[in-house]
């Protein structure tokens, strides 16, 4: 199917907030419409959707199955202006006229309607439901359905083709209520893959995977239809990951930096703070021109509501889209939820914006797909998952990228979440996703219950991008923190056997305890860059070492307040220059020494 794009008088402004969304009109046909026909279609659609005719974009696709006339798609709306569509419309008109008019008048009107009508040879495929069970429908009568194609049932329910058999039958998963589908019901092809209506007005909204609003704020006003499945950008379309995306957590930004376009896995047992890290990452993007997408897969509705309320409380809802498929939704909706969220993020990425997407979580997504596969009678593999479960997530996460300047320079950073059982990272789904992503943040239950939050295990966590995704001042301020923490863990094991410690070992243990305390951070309180840099330089400079461990957090808070109040120029230089120098380090250490001298530690 060839495609031709025609832009009619639409000019995109440099300011994204001032850009009026173009009316994208897709036309499937055999013979392309004339200029006069395009003008008529443009005027009709512009008036129907309240747009200026100059803000119109046509996409012409040559499709032999249309035979004659046009099939027109605007957003999620279909207009069948083909020859076969006219016949169906005429048949419906005839049925309604039979109830209201005399036979003579019906014949007269029919003659008038068909007098100049010519129809070439063609056909319209109509399939039938052969069985319905557990949200899966078996169809017969369609012999050239495509995998992933959307079909429309007579009752108005939509489904997606997920199984095509050699005997001509096919398996479809439902996106609606199973009770509305019965055996023998007619099923029509749409010749379209699953997609989501989308526009630049989505930030601040809560939608389901089909693009239907869930927040009670009315319709989205979307005029574009974006496919949820899309090939990942090629290598030549990507730029290396080198621009930091700070999430505001000292333990992460200092040792496991995340870059724009990276995929960093958040993994850990249940109730270890995985969602909290993701929410903090969203909160820290305020004022940084980053569009965030939070995808909830199989979560309780109450949990999604709490996340939405937290975002609203901190003003983060203005730049965040929530795509929610709760535990009460059918498995097909949970299955397409991350792809729908990815499509939303991609829409902004290809318009030159930086985006952050959270998948919470992919463990439940894999379970939903396993449910569908077993119902479709596919052969089970390890842990009853189908053989293509790896491809399930690889084709999703590979779409995260930092695009080249030729494509606008946008980026999509992914933070997928995976739940483990008893800390077992060697299970099937965790190992699959670890091999796809560019690093992982492992949250340990023992650390969490010991009060170390975020409970990031420094030994098992890693970022494969490393210092390439850090500002110069952060990279050089970290110093030997990670090595000191590793030595602290080893020495702490030996101290359990008792015995006296020499002064050097005791001081290293004390330094490690201070570092662990400094890495603790409350929820919903992300740290700006200057606060993180000041903390790290002071920690490596031994400023906190002689302070009682229980007082370290209080001293840290008061020290940061002192810097912002007494030496704000240092904070401003860190945030704007982002470059390390001995001068900056000396200024920080001198100011910290003055603060400690004013307020000595209590023994």
Q: Are residues 166 and 245 in the same domain?
A: no
Q: Which residues pair with 27 in a beta bridge?
A: 60, 72
Beta strands 136-140 and 126-133 are antiparallel
Band of residue 206 on the pLDDT scale cut at 50, 70, 90: very high
d(CA 493, CA 54): 72
Question: Do 342 and 252 share a structural domain?
Answer: yes
Report the range of poorest mean pLDDT among 78-87, 124-133, 174-183, 370-379.
78-87
Bridge partner list, 186: 128
- Does residue 198 lie in a domain region? no
pTM of the model: 0.82
- Residue 53: CB atoms within 10 A of its CB come to 15
Report the Cα 138 to chain-centroid distance in Å: 31
Cβ neighbour number for residue 76 with a 10 Å cutoff: 18
| Mean pLDDT on 157-167 | 89
Give pLDDT tens digits for 429-469: 999 999 999 999 999 999 999 899 999 999 889 999 888 88
Average the pLDDT over 331-360 and give the result: 95
Judge whether 395 lies within some domain.
yes
Number of domains in the chain: 4
Residue 529 falls within a domain, yes or no? yes
* In a shared domain, residues 148 and 240: no
Q: Give CA–CA dist 85/73, Å, rounded.
A: 14
Query: Which of 574, 543, 570 has the alpha carbon at shortest distance from 476?
Result: 574
SS3 letters for 37-67? HHHHHHHHHHHHCCCCCCCEEEEEEECHHHC
Cα separation, 413 vs 405, whole angstroms: 17
Final residue of a structural domain among 73, 100, 122:
122
DSSP string for residues in 279-328? HHHHHTTTTTTEEEEEEEEEE-HHHHHHHHHHHHHTT-GGGEEEEEEETT
Which residue range(s) make up the domain with 184?
126-193
SS3 of 479-501: the string is CCHHHHHHHHHHHHHHHCCCCCC
CB 472 within 8 A of CB 580: yes
CATH code, domain with 139? 2.40.30.20
Q: Which residue out of 230, 464, 520, 585 is catalytically annotated?
A: 464
Please report whether residue 215 resides in a domain: no
| 4, 60 Cβ separation under 8 angstroms | yes
Comparing CA positions, the residue from 30, 7, 44 lying closest to residue 83 is 30
Is the Cα dihedral 288, 291, 294, 295 positive or negative?
Answer: negative
SS3 195: strand
Q: Last residue of a domain, which of 419, 447, 470?
A: 470
Does residue 209 sit within a domain?
no
Same domain flag for 248 and 108:
no
User: What does the pLDDT average to over 566-580?
Assistant: 93
441 phi/psi in degrees, rounded to 5: -105, 110
Do the beta carbons of residue 259 and residue 247 sit within 8 Å?
Answer: no
pLDDT score of 560: 94
| Residue finishing a domain among 435, 470, 505 | 470
Find the helix or strand (DSSP H, E) in which 189 lies: strand 186-193
Tens of pLDDT, residues 395-415: 999 999 999 999 999 999 999
Residue of higher predicted confidence among 530 and 74: 530
What is the rounded radius of gyration, in angstroms, for the C-alpha atoms of the chain?
29
The phi and psi torsions of 376 (rounded to 5 degrees) equal: -85, 5
Q: Count other C-beta atoms under 10 Å from residue 303's C-beta.
A: 15
Are 324 and 466 in a shared domain? yes
The whole-angstrom separation of Cα 9 and Cα 30 is 25
High-pLDDT (> 90) share of the chain, %: 52
Task: Tell me whether residue 113 is exposed, middle or buried, using C-beta atoms within 10 angstroms of its C-beta: 0 to 12, 13 to 18, 19 or more.
Answer: middle
Question: What's 303's domain CATH number?
Answer: 3.40.50.300
pLDDT of residue 251: 93
How many angstroms separate the CA atoms of 519 and 552, rounded?
A: 11
In a shared domain, residues 244 and 284: yes
Residue 88 pLDDT grade (very low, low, confident, very high; cuts 50, 70, 90) = low
Q: What is the pLDDT at residue 107?
A: 56
Judge if 97 and 133 occupy the same domain.
no
Is the preceding omega at residue 454 within 30 degrees of 0, hence cis?
yes
Q: Is 464 a catalytic residue?
A: yes
Angle at 246 between CA 240 and CA 252, to 5 degrees: 100
How many other CB atoms are found less than 10 A from the CB of residue 302? 8
Rounded Cα distance, 252 and 439, in Å: 12
* Residues 92 and 137 occupy one common structural domain: no
**Residue 213 within any structural domain of the chain:** no
Residue 26 domain flag: yes
Looking at the structure, do residues 491 and 442 belong to the same domain, yes or no? Answer: no
Is the pLDDT at 286 greater than 70, yes or no?
yes
Tell me whether residue 202 is in a domain: no
Give the pLDDT confidence of 252-278 residue by residue, as tens digits. 999 999 999 999 999 999 999 999 999
Together in a domain, 454 and 585: no
Same domain, 566 and 480: yes
* Alpha helices in 82-151, H assignment, sequence order: 83-98, 103-114
Judgement on whether residues 400 and 512 belong to the same structural domain of the protein:
no
């Amino acid at each position: 199917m060839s495609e031709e794009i025609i832009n009619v008088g639409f000019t995109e402004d440099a300011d994204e907030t001032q850009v009026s969304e173009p009316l994208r009109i897709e036309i499937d046909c055999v013979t392309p419409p004339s200029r006069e026909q395009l003008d008529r279609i443009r005027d009709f659609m512009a008036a129907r959707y309240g747009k200026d005719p100059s803000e119109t974009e046509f996409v012409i696709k040559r499709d032999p199955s249309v035979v004659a006339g046009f099939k027109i798609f605007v957003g999620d709306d279909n207009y069948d202006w083909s020859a076969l569509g006219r016949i169906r419309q005429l048949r419906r008109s005839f049925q309604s006229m039979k109830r209201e008019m005399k036979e003579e008048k019906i014949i007269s009107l029919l003659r008038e309607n068909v007098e100049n009508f010519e129809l070439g040879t063609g056909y319209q495929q109509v399939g039938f439901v052969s069985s319905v069970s557990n949200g899966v429908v078996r169809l017969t009568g369609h012999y050239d359905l495509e995998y992933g194609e959307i079909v429309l049932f007579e009752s108005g329910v939509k489904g997606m083709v997920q199984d095509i058999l050699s005997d001509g039958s096919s398996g479809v998963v439902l996106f609606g209520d199973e009770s509305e589908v019965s055996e023998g019901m007619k099923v029509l092809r749409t010749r379209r893959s699953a997609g989501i209506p989308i526009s630049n007005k989505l930030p601040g909204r809560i939608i389901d995977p089909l693009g239907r609003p869930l927040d009670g704020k009315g319709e989205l006003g979307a005029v574009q239809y974006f496919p949820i499945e899309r090939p990942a950008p090629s290598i030549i379309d990507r730029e290396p990951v080198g621009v930091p995306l700070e999430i505001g957590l000292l333990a992460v930004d200092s040792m496991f930096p995340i870059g724009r376009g990276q995929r960093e896995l958040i993994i850990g047992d249940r109730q270890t703070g995985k969602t909290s890290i993701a929410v903090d990452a969203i909160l820290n993007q305020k004022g940084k021109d980053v569009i965030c997408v939070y995808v909830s897969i199989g979560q309780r509705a109450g949990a999604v509501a709490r996340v939405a309320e937290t975002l609203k409380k901190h003003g983060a809802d203005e730049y965040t889209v929530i795509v929610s498929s709760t535990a009460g939704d059918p498995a097909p909706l949970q299955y397409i939820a991350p792809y729908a969220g990815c499509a939303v993020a991609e829409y902004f990425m290809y318009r030159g914006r930086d985006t952050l997407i959270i998948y919470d979580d992919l463990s439940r997504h894999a379970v939903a797909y396993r449910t569908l596969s077993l119902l479709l009678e596919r052969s089970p593999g390890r842990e009853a998952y189908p053989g293509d479960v790896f491809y399930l997530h690889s084709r999703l996460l590979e779409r995260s990228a930092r695009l080249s300047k030729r494509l606008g320079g946008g980026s999509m950073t992914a933070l997928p979440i995976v739940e483990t059982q008893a800390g077992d990272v060697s299970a099937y789904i965790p190992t699959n996703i670890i091999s796809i992503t560019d690093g992982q943040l492992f949250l340990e239950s023992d650390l969490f219950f010991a009060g170390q939050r975020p409970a990031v295990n420094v030994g098992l966590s890693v970022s494969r991008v490393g210092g390439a995704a850090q500002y110069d001042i952060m990279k050089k301020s970290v110093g030997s923190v990670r090595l000191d923490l590793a030595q602290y863990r080893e020495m702490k094991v030996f101290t359990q056997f008792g015995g006296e410690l020499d002064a050097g070992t005791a001081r290293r243990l004390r330094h490690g305890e201070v570092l662990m305390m400094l890495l603790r951070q409350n929820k919903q309180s992300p740290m700006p860059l200057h606060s993180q840099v000041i903390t790290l330089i002071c920690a490596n400079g031994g400023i906190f070492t002689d302070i009682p461990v229980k007082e370290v957090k209080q001293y840290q808070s008061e020290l940061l307040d002192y810097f912002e109040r007494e030496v704000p120029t240092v904070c401003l230089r860190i945030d704007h220059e982002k470059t390390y120098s001995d001068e900056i380090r000396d200024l920080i250490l001198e100011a910290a020494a003055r603060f400690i001298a004013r307020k000595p530690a209590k023994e």
